[in-house]
Amino acid sequence: MTQVRSRRLVILGSTGSIGRSTLDVVGALNGTVRVVGLAAGSGWEALARQAHDTGAEYVAIGDESHYDRLRAALPAATTALAGADGLVELVDRARDAADADYTLSAIVGAAGLPATLRAVERGMDIGLANKESLVIAGSILMPLARERGAALLPVDSEHSAIFQCLHSGTHAEVRRLFLTASGGPFRKWSAERIDAATVDEALAHPTWSMGPKITIDSATMMNKALEVVEARWLFDMPVERIEVLVHPESIVHSMVEFVDGSIVAQLGAPDMKTPIQYALTYPARVAGVATSLSWSAARSLNFEPADPQRFPALALGFDAARRGGTCGAVLNAANEVAVELFRAGKIRFGEIGRLTARVLGRHQSIESPTLKQLTAADQWARQELQGCRI
């Protein structure tokens, strides 16, 4: 087996879909990766169980009301932290007292940004699943990572694919990046039917099993919109060179076209353990727990253009990436609120994209924003979206 660099790992969002898959991957790496910090939002029982299983020294829970119960359920040697500040402190304490050198960032939404930012600030390498961090603050995170020598390794399957394909040429030799999209559960639905889709229908993803927010984002194709912005930052690529292609089988995870017309693609089973493991073991490749794709039966791979009429959210990602400034923060925040309102039965499915578009359209972007200005833009967008409903 190729030698894998040993790591001391903090998992932000350890109880979620990506967090649990990360723990499976870590288990299969036979002790080369040791978990020293764990963080979650409110699931204190699962978090305490994970602390027992991994022997993590530091644990943080976002919802402070669970602090006492969490602490009582933890092993005696584990330190408990709580609240939004507790997540940031977890990164600092794990770095200082437990030699943590890697953070797997898998909290969902803008809530993941402060601790991710701190891990970058502290020069830790990052396995990035929390795409919202880059959508909001790519203009700050990317230069900071370079300055602190923190590697940003994509966990998002499309970006992991592109990262791998880019090894075939130089940055100047790239013509286009193709982000593939499954098309979600409503790929073949009419616009009218999509508009009235229920929460259960939106949560029934055809190829990927994921947390609820990203599953709804896949149904609107807002997930791909966020991924366009993510790709723009991760690969320093002008948005004019990024394209989206619907590929319902989710086997080709993304592609890079070089200037000579050659297209390099990365393929595999739709299993997040593959990109998670690659982000953890890079540059090594090892056999692990991920599913191997079977070619024993005939298999067809289909590609079709995305339909901007039925999936208007997609254009918002291109718009936000082109305008830059505070637009990513606004796009993300408006969408987060809209998704919550939809899940609570307060708005129709079609309104997620429409209301988010209205908020982004009204926004006056600030160029080269500070973190404070990004946070203010996020707050403005949340209020504005709530206001749109009245």
User: Which residues make up the interface to Mg ion (CB under 5 A)?
Assistant: 156, 158
108 near ligand NAD, judged by CB under 6 A: yes
Residues in contact with ligand NAD, counted by CB under 6 A, come to a total of 29
Piece in contact with ligand NAD (CB under 6 A), picked from 163-171, 204-212, 247-255, 293-301: 204-212
272 near ligand NAD, judged by CB under 6 A: yes
User: Which residues from 147-166 bind ligand NAD, rule CB under 6 A?
Assistant: 156
Piece in contact with ligand NAD (CB under 6 A), picked from 100-108, 253-261, 288-296, 341-349: 100-108
Q: Whole-angstrom Cα distance, residue 62 to residue 81?
A: 9
Residues 288/290/296/300 CA torsion (nearest 10 deg): -140
- Which residue of 7, 10, 19, 154 would you call a contact of ligand NAD, by CB under 6 A? 19
130 near ligand NAD, judged by CB under 6 A: yes
Piece in contact with ligand NAD (CB under 6 A), picked from 17-25, 193-201, 340-348, 375-383: 17-25
From the CB of residue 72, how many other CB atoms can be counted at a distance below 10 Å? 10
67 near ligand NAD, judged by CB under 6 A: no
Closer CB to ligand NAD, 272 or 388, in the complex:
272
CB of 114 within 8 A of CB of 87?
yes
* Shortest CB 81 distance to ligand NAD, Å: 11
* Shortest CB 253 distance to Mg ion, Å: 8
Full 3-state SS string of the chain: CCCCCCEEEEEECCCCHHHHHHHHHHHHCCCCEEEEEEEECCCHHHHHHHHHHHCCCEEEECCHHHHHHHHHHCCCCCEEEEHHHHHHHHHHHHHHHHCCCEEEECCCCHHHHHHHHHHHHCCCEEEECCHHHHHHHHHHHHHHHHHHCCCEEECCHHHHHHHHHHHHCCHHHEEEEEEEECCCCCCCCCHHHHHCCCHHHHCCCCCCCCCHHHHHHHHHCHHHHHHHHHHHHHCCCCHHHEEEEECCCCCEEEEEEECCCCEEEEECCCCCHHHHHHHHHCCCCCCCCCCCCCCCCCCCCCCEECCCCCCCHHHHHHHHHHHCCCHHHHHHHHHHHHHHHHHCCCCCHHHHHHHHHHHHHHCCCCCCCCHHHHHHHHHHHHHHHHHHCC
132 near ligand NAD, judged by CB under 6 A: yes
* Shortest CB 3 distance to ligand NAD, Å: 28
51 near ligand NAD, judged by CB under 6 A: no
* Shortest CB 192 distance to ligand NAD, Å: 28
214 near ligand NAD, judged by CB under 6 A: yes
* Shortest CB 169 distance to ligand NAD, Å: 25
Partner from ligand NAD, Mg ion, none binding residue 158, C-beta < 5-8 Å depending on class:
Mg ion
* Shortest CB 111 distance to ligand NAD, Å: 3
User: Which residues from 273-302 bind ligand NAD, rule CB under 6 A?
Assistant: none
* Shortest CB 213 distance to Mg ion, Å: 13
Closer CB to ligand NAD, 18 or 388, in the complex:
18
* Shortest CB 183 distance to Mg ion, Å: 13
Residues near ligand NAD (CB under 6 A) are 13-19, 39-41, 43, 62, 87, 106-108, 111, 129-132, 156, 208, 210-214, 272
